[in-house]
């Protein structure tokens, strides 16, 4: 009986590793950073006493930015944007450059993101985020595919595979755990603009 229980646990760990272990060796693997204590997950998640005010992330452990952002606007954009929310707010809690990477577990860190990864708080020259992307928007815009029916390279629809609560977020294009193993953490390869053309009807 104990043997079969162990086998079930071992199989579960094997499949969990196969499906969710891709962060090892990626840009978000901080295990070799001097401030991480060798931990891969702890900068974002904790097994105990996680932040319950962050419903988009399980057992959240990192400080969340309180910055006010300048958002993208344009005459050709039909979506209505607001301040970053959900998954995007979590991404910006390192990538806005105001919260240190090692500000987790209640500690105030001193190691800030640098280089191109530091987006700052002016997002006016970045792809819009935190807006509702639905059938009505696609019809109004004319240059977007209907997210409820258009398939992606991941096997489902845009709504199923790339949107979060029906909203376009940073994680619509980028996989924080880098499942595809590429430089920019893209969910879908952008060779031939394939990722862009998943949503954009051009």
pLDDT of residue 44: 95
CA–CA dist 162, 174 (Å, integer)? 9
Q: Is the pLDDT of residue 193 over 80?
A: yes
**Residue 101 Cα distances to 28, 30, 133, 164, 185, angstroms:** 10, 9, 30, 24, 18
User: Rounded to a whole number, what is the largest CA-CA distance in the chain?
Assistant: 66
Tell me the pLDDT band of 4, cut-offs 50, 70 and 90: very low
Strands (E), the chain: 131-132, 167-168
- Rounded to 5°, the CA angle 177-180-181 comes to 75
Beta bridge partners of 122: 70
Tell me the pLDDT band of 181, cut-offs 50, 70 and 90: low
Output the average pLDDT for the chain.
87
Q: Is the pLDDT of residue 22 over 80?
A: no
pLDDT of residue 21: 44
Coil/strand/helix, residue 104: strand
For 35-69, the pLDDT digits (tens) are: 999 999 999 999 999 998 888 888 999 999 999 99
- Rounded to 5°, the CA angle 155-141-136 comes to 65
């Amino acid at each position: 009986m104990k043997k079969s229980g162990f086998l079930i646990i071992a199989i579960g760990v094997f499949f969990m590793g196969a499906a969710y272990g891709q962060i090892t060796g990626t840009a978000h693997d901080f295990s070799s950073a001097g401030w991480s204590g060798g931990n891969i997950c702890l900068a974002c998640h904790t097994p105990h006493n996680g932040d319950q005010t962050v419903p988009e992330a399980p057992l959240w452990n990192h400080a969340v930015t309180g910055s006010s952002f300048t958002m993208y606007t344009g005459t050709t954009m039909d979506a209505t944007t607001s301040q970053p929310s959900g998954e995007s707010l979590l991404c910006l809690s390192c990538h806005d450059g105001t919260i240190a990477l090692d500000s987790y577990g209640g500690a105030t860190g001193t190691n800030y993101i640098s280089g191109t990864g530091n987006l700052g708080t002016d997002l006016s020259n970045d792809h819009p985020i935190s807006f509702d992307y639905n059938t009505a928007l696609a019809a109004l815009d004319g240059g977007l595919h209907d997210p409820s029916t258009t398939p992606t390279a991941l096997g489902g629809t845009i709504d199923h595979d790339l949107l979060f609560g029906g909203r376009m977020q940073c994680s619509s294009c980028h996989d924080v755990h880098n499942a595809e193993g590429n430089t920019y953490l893209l969910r879908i390869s952008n060779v031939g603009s394939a990722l862009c053309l998943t949503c954009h009807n051009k």
